[in-house]
A = this chain, B = another copy of it.
Amino acid sequence: MVGIIMGSSSDLSVMQDAIDICQSFGVAYEVDIVSAHRTPVKMLQYAQTAKERGVKVIIAGAGGAAHLPGMVASATILPVIGVPVKSSNSIDGWDSVLSILQMPNGVPVATVALNASKNAGILAIQMLAIADEALAHKLETYKQELVEKVAEMSQQTKSNWK
């Protein structure tokens, strides 16, 4: 199961892509609102109990001084994927990116691009696929579809410029 959390329901529009990826790959997930700064106790509990609840990877999205991914990582041995969200008073997203990326030695967060919850979803699938050949096969198919989409765009573009 993939645990997908974020600090506020206003982050759902960005985090939806991670949920969609889990659905399209047929991987179980749970979604919750967990705030590092407003609900620190719940946040630690979430992290401490995630593994025993069956969570295998955690995806955490947050903006501004984005502490959720790093703090969850502090209290679990599960891999944590951090999604920097460009929130309204963000300084161009730099705050979210650096708050999530620059973790100290010992407590990593697997950071993806600004607002890139889709890639967070795919990365979670890739981690699960390490020990799940059926899932690995689906990833091969997904990668092949990327190739085909570009081929279509290429075809259309070339015919336009002939």
Interface residues of A (CB under 8 A from B): 7-9, 12, 19, 29-42, 44, 51, 56-57, 63-65, 67, 70-71, 73-75, 77-79, 81, 86, 89-95, 97-116, 118-120, 122-123, 126-132, 136, 139-140, 142-143, 146-147, 149-151, 153-154, 156-158, 160-161
Are B108 and A120 interface neighbours, CB within 8 A? yes
Are B81 and A110 interface neighbours, CB within 8 A? yes
Residues of B within 8 A of A91 (CB): 92-94, 97-98, 102, 114
User: Would A131 and B131 be within 8 Å (CB), given that A36-B74, A38-B107, A101-B97 are in contact?
Assistant: yes
Instruction: Give Cα distance in the complex from A31 to B155, angstroms.
Output: 10
Closest 3 CB pairs of A and B: A131-B131, A110-B110, A108-B119
Are B33 and A154 interface neighbours, CB within 8 A? yes
Residues of B within 8 A of A32 (CB): 154, 157-158
Residues of B within 8 A of A36 (CB): 67, 70-71, 74
Measured CB to CB, the closest approach of chain B to A23, in angstroms, equals 10
Residues of B within 8 A of A93 (CB): 91
Contact of A114 among B38, B89, B115 (CB under 8 A): B89
Given contact pairs A38-B74, A107-B146, enumerate 5 new A-B contacts (beta carbons under 8 Å).
Answer: A77-B139, A101-B111, A103-B112, A108-B123, A111-B111
